[in-house]
Each structure stands twice: as C-alpha cells, then as structure tokens.
Amino acid sequence: MRTNFLRALLLVSLTLAVGATSASAQDGVLPSFGIRPTQADSDRPETFSYFVHTLEPGSSFTDEALVLNEGTAPITLKLYAVDGITAQNGGTTFPAQGELSSGGSREVSTWLSLPLNELTIPGGEEVVVPFIINVPVDASPGHHIAGLVVEAPPSEGNIDSSGEGETQFAVEIIQRVGVAVVIEVPGPQGVGLEIGGTQLIQQSDQGATFSVVVRNTGNVLTKGEGLLRVFTTDGEELASTPWQMDTVLPGDSATFEFTAPFFMSDGDYLINVAIRFADGQIARLDGAKVGVRDGQPVSEAPASEDALSPAVIELSTQPSSQSGIWEWFASSKMLTLAIFAAPITILAVFEIYIWRKWWKERSER
C-alpha cells in the first residue's frame, strides 16, 4: 500500500516537474534576469520578496542577494545600490545609478556595501552576492529604503537610412530589476499625509482624469484609500470616485493620476479630496477650483458667476468588467481559499465514506 502511495506521488511530482520545466523554457535569447533575497523569515511574508531588517543606529548586518540569469545566453549586468523613491502613481521604485532621493531615503544607498559592481552570469545560472548594511550612528527612527538593482546593457534602437526631409525616431531600452532593502530603525514612529493639490488633467472617452499630489510627512511607509468628490460652486455634490493610494515613502511627494468614469460638462466645479490612512486617519483637501471649457480643463477656473453653463456630470456608460460580488470574490482571498478547500473537502468525504464502509464490514464480521 505504501509502495503504491509513493509510486503515485512520484508520478504526479514528475509530471508537475516536467510541466514546470517546459513552461519556463520560453525565455529564448532575450535577456531575462532578476534579483531576490536568499533567505526569508516565515513570520514576515514580505521577506520572501524583498529585504527587511530592523537595525539599531551604528549597527551592521551582512545579507545576501541572489542574482539569476534566466535566459539561455550569458549576460553581463551592472549591480548597484540606489536610494528608494516613490514612483508617480505611488509604490517603491529606484532612480538611475548615482541619482539620489530628494525625500527621506536620501543617501540610504550609501548604507549598503557591495563587493562588485558588475557580474557576468552564464545562461540559466545564478550568483550569490553578499552585501553589508551599515546603519549610521545618527540614523533617525523609522523606515529607510534603498534598493539593489541589476541592469542590462541598453538594446540598440534601429534607424534605417532616411530620405530627404525625413526624420526618424529610435528608442533604446535599458531593462532593470530592483529589489527593495527596507531598514527599520527603532524609535518613535510618526504617520502623516498632506494633500498638496488636485487638478483635472483631461477628459476623454474614458472619463475625467484627475491628479492628486500627496506628501508623506511621517517617517514610515504609508498607503491609503482616496475619495475624490465633485461639487457645484453652490455646494451640491455631483459625483465621486474612489482611488487607491499606493505606498508613498517617508518624506516623499508623489503624484497620482486616475480616471473617473464620468464626464464634466463646461462649467465650474469644486473638488474635495480625502485620503484614509493608518487605521482611520484622514487627510483632506477641500474646495479646489476646476473649470471646464469646450470639454477640457482650464487652468484658472473663473468665479462662479462667470460660468458659461450650469455644471453637469454625465456618468460614463462603460460597463463594468466584473459584477460586484464576483469582483469581491476574485480580489479577496476567497478564491484561493476555495481552490484549496475543494480538494480537502473531497478527500475528507472520501475518507469518511471509506471508514464508514470499513466499520460496517467489520461489524458484519
């Protein structure tokens, strides 16, 4: 019986392994490479993806990064440390080599020491690169973010011979992969957000695109949920749209752009923006003026008495791609739970059936 079990297990495992190999063999000769931690703390799931360390000022820590060449050809990559910055639309990203953050993580890259700045890796191989984090003695409490980046040489853009009066445009592409190194320095943590402004950027067939500038005034990574509301100049609410505020690094400002599924007719409006963050705190900006003329925003909204026509919001007729319940089901953990729960339930029912049958046979004997 045990032999049968092991045989079946081996067969399934082999089948899955073969499937996995053929699925990852599509890389071809294009550069495909990455970097990730070599170790993780099971109590902190994020450490499976990026580096997170709590370190006292003046302390040092040695860690390792794994650099992988997942293509079939050898590749030479630059490897360097950079400051962490906030991307437009939020989230952690990394500037070009040598560029410094203008926010709270300025010069955190200098806390990292790497033994090399370039490495050549044969196709399908990986290299472990140790690095040291040296936290300055005067490091302030809170989150400090750096990144380790691997970068491939630029791919050349093609320019053909052009004729008289003709102009061509070529684009060369540099591919980079970055992994965050989050250093938590113990001490008082402050959470704070400020909304620096909001604008109507444009209107198109997709709706009205707004921008909101957010500044993280605290010393920890912060994300939140935003709500933008549109009012007439008389204070009547016409429409609202939620938006997700992805992470803003401490001391950074970021601009978020999002498109609301409605159109604003020519007129003057007032915009209120609120962001809920850190377990219920709310940052607000009320009464930003927006004017729309010929369907597009104007930079200075005139006073309401100069409005050309009454403000009207037309809701977009674009259908939602998912129904509410399905959206919740798909975006929550319920789908994953269901996928795992189904075979367990089948197994349990099967087990009960077998045991019941066995018990019945035993009783009859």
Partner 1 sequence: MKTSYCVWKALLWALLAAAGATIPARALAITTAPISFPIVTLNGANQLINGSTSAWRANATGETGGWNVTITSADFSNVAGKTIAVSNFEVRLLDGNIVTISGDVNRPTSTQTTFAALSGTALKIASAAAGQGNGVYDLTPDFRLTVPAETYTGDYSATVTVAIGIGP
Within positions 25 to 44, which residues make up the interface with partner 1, using CB under 8 A? Answer: 27, 30-36
Going 278 to 282 to 288 to 294, the CA torsion angle's sign is positive
| Cα(200)–Cα(265) distance, integer angstroms | 12
Is 263 a binder of partner 1 (CB under 8 A)?
Answer: no
Among 54, 206, 309, 322, binds partner 1 (CB under 8 A): 206
Backbone angles phi, psi at 177, to 5 degrees: -130, 130
- Please give the residues from 291 up to 310 whose contact with partner 1 meets the rule CB under 8 A: none
How many CB atoms are located within 10 Å of the residue 69 CB?
A: 25
Stretch that binds partner 1, among 228-236, 281-289, 291-299, 326-334 (CB under 8 A): 326-334
What does DSSP assign to residue 333? T
- Please give the residues from 115 up to 144 whose contact with partner 1 meets the rule CB under 8 A: 126
- Residue number, 273 or 307, with CB nearest to partner 1: 273
Going 280 to 285 to 287 to 291, the CA torsion angle's sign is negative
- Nearest distance in Å: CB 201, partner 1: 8
- Nearest distance in Å: CB 20, partner 1: 6
CA 143 from chain centre, in angstroms, equals 17
How many CB atoms are located within 10 Å of the residue 236 CB?
A: 10
Site string for partner 1, 71-110 (x = CB under 8 A): -------------xx-xxxxxxxxxx--------------
- Quick one: 109 exposed, middle or buried, by C-beta within 10 A (0-12, 13-18, 19+)? buried
Stretch that binds partner 1, among 1-9, 112-120, 300-308, 312-320 (CB under 8 A): 1-9
Stretch that binds partner 1, among 186-194, 230-238, 264-272, 340-348 (CB under 8 A): 340-348
Question: Which one, of 246, 266, 271, lies nearest residue 309 by Cα?
Answer: 266
- Residue number, 160 or 234, with CB nearest to partner 1: 160
First-last CA distance in the chain: 23
- Nearest distance in Å: CB 272, partner 1: 22
| Cα(263)–Cα(209) distance, integer angstroms | 9
3-state secondary structure of 24: helix
Is 18 a binder of partner 1 (CB under 8 A)?
Answer: no
59, 231, 245, 288, 289 from 302: Cα distances, Å: 57, 15, 30, 12, 9
Among 98, 173, 279, 323, binds partner 1 (CB under 8 A): 173
**Token reading at 198:** 């909001």
- Nearest distance in Å: CB 104, partner 1: 13
Helix axes 334-364, 324-331, angle to 10 degrees: 80
Is 54 a binder of partner 1 (CB under 8 A)?
Answer: no
Site string for partner 1, 215-254 (x = CB under 8 A): ------x------------------------xx-------
Is 347 a binder of partner 1 (CB under 8 A)?
Answer: yes
Is 59 a binder of partner 1 (CB under 8 A)?
Answer: no
Stretch that binds partner 1, among 114-122, 131-139, 170-178, 271-279 (CB under 8 A): 170-178
| Cα(326)–Cα(320) distance, integer angstroms | 11
**Token reading at 365:** 């004997």
- Nearest distance in Å: CB 169, partner 1: 4
- Residue number, 165 or 235, with CB nearest to partner 1: 165
Backbone angles phi, psi at 352, to 5 degrees: -60, -40
Among 50, 111, 231, 277, binds partner 1 (CB under 8 A): 50
